[in-house]
A and B are shown apart, each in its own frame.
Chain A
């Protein structure tokens, strides 16, 4: 039976594959799109990229962008990666995408979900696989009927007044385009295979792809259990919404990885160094999302490479903002851990002071706040904090 299915699959795939092989790969030289569908898709994509390039949400840090590009090149090889333009977008979501014309979008939430270059390379390589295999074009052809809905939506929205309606239309546009550009499970499997194949050939550790997937599942489970939900909602994670069942995926990713690659370097130290300035910012973006379970999991996952002052501070802020009495006690301890590693971390004194005040240790709390003001006299809330100190200290 299985053999029969395999033959059927080959027969079905053969003409498609033949048509694909006629075209040069989309990353080669200055590739020009071929055929009316691809030309149209690229034209729209060029417009979208133009808007993206001017968006205030793009993080304009040459070093960080160059680093991500470098990891992509390390993964897929210099011959492939040169055509890609990388844009890092400040959005606290776990996702990356690559569109038909070679635009790679990396959302800042991704950086908290990977701990080393190999895991980052696994995600980037997967997205590059979609690009190399022209998955968007295939999906566009097979689901073309989706655009009928858009045409009607535009007509109806044109009849209605008001910004809200236009927004609804834009949401519709986004969601329909979403399903238009959403890859099928088979395409995801193919991209997974390609992604691991790139890693196998690279100098990075290919087992990282399976590892990362385990972490993503564990994060979703942690988020759900803290919220008292029975089942995690994997569809809420953009990157996993259309992907193959998660357990299956982690298993075959690990299986596909070359076993002799297990001893390779995963680049954890280099990753940590490259992200040093941004990690506190991205962590802050995450812990303020009011998702205690996911945030606490992510912090502990990142701490597997060793606790840092930044991680302790983030954990303190996370517990303090959830705000049960026992959270304040835990938070105070986390702030103290941060200060043990870096006594000049003003913000940790602020959190420590506020947490102590809330657990009826006002005098110690005020002493900590005083330290905060000494270390950060120009803090944006210095005047408010000064009011919380006793008179003789407030001068």
Chain B
């Protein structure tokens, strides 16, 4: 066994040991109890129990799921400031992600999410299906749907709502495999989106 293979193997063992540790504190989010999300003031009140995953995709992001993040994934983005990416960058220098900018318009938020997914996952198959005005967090917002095929060759559908409040971006996305899981979990996900509030959010 060469040195490099040995390293790969020890790396794998270490990764396995880490991942096998059970309680990295996923949390149950109980029905009817309001919870603030993504380290922000945005709060939601679920109409059923959800699991909050301990691994946050970014500094101002948080993921909830019903059956596992690959099967139904609700991600909250709570107050992304200008010049910040939506999720953590693998390498700021070599693999930078698109940034939310001060000049970003509401109608361009779907493009921002699209660019982030494409860059982060290095995929080409991403399609925006619809973009419509909506009311979100008591503000003018955008509701959009999309579809993409990840490198696990599974096609996923997505639906999101976003608003820019006080110069910061607030967004909730829902992603699930097109086959079975999207239809199964879209209603509880929509209920979460509708329940979202932001203190002082409706003042604009």
- Whether both chains belong to one complex is answered with yes
Residues of A within 8 A of B (CB): 55-57, 90-93, 108-109, 145-146, 148-149, 152-153, 156-157, 159-165, 168-169, 172, 175-176, 227-229, 233, 236, 282, 285, 288-291, 321, 323, 325, 328, 354, 357-358, 380-381, 383-385, 387-388
- Complex contact A161–B20 (CB within 8 A): yes
Closest-by-CB residue of A relative to B140 is: A387
Residues of B within 8 Å of A148, CB to CB, are 1, 5
- Complex contact B122–A160 (CB within 8 A): no
Cα A227 to Cα B110 with chains together (Å): 25
Residue of B105, B118, B129 near A285 (CB, 8 A) is B118
Cα A357 to Cα B15 with chains together (Å): 49
CB distance from B16 to the nearest CB of A (A): 5
Sorting the interface of chain B by its residue count into under 10, 10 to 19, 20 to 34 or 35 or more gives: 35 or more
- Complex contact B20–A165 (CB within 8 A): yes
- Complex contact B19–A162 (CB within 8 A): yes
- Complex contact A290–B96 (CB within 8 A): yes
- Is residue B9 within 8 Å, beta carbon to beta carbon, of the partner chain? yes
- Complex contact B115–A290 (CB within 8 A): yes
- Complex contact B130–A380 (CB within 8 A): yes
- Complex contact B118–A384 (CB within 8 A): no
B interface, by DSSP: helix, strand, loop or mixed? mixed
Cα A103 to Cα B118 with chains together (Å): 27
Residue of A56, A108, A164 near B19 (CB, 8 A) is A164
- Complex contact A57–B105 (CB within 8 A): no
Residues of A within 8 Å of B20, CB to CB, are 159-161, 165
User: What number of residue pairs across chains A and B have CB atoms under 8 A from each other?
Assistant: 128
Residues of A within 8 Å of B12, CB to CB, are 152-153, 156, 168-169, 172
Closest-by-CB residue of B relative to A233 is: B94
- Complex contact A145–B96 (CB within 8 A): no
- Is residue B111 within 8 Å, beta carbon to beta carbon, of the partner chain? yes
Q: Which 4 pairs show the lowest CB-CB distances between chains A and B?
A: A381-B131, A285-B124, A290-B119, A92-B124
Closest-by-CB residue of B relative to A236 is: B94
Residue of A152, A321, A384 near B133 (CB, 8 A) is A384
CB distance from B169 to the nearest CB of A (A): 14
- Complex contact A380–B129 (CB within 8 A): yes
- Complex contact A384–B131 (CB within 8 A): yes
For window 160-196 of B, CB contacts with A under 8 Å fall at none
- Complex contact A90–B124 (CB within 8 A): yes
Cα A297 to Cα B59 with chains together (Å): 33
- Complex contact A384–B1 (CB within 8 A): no
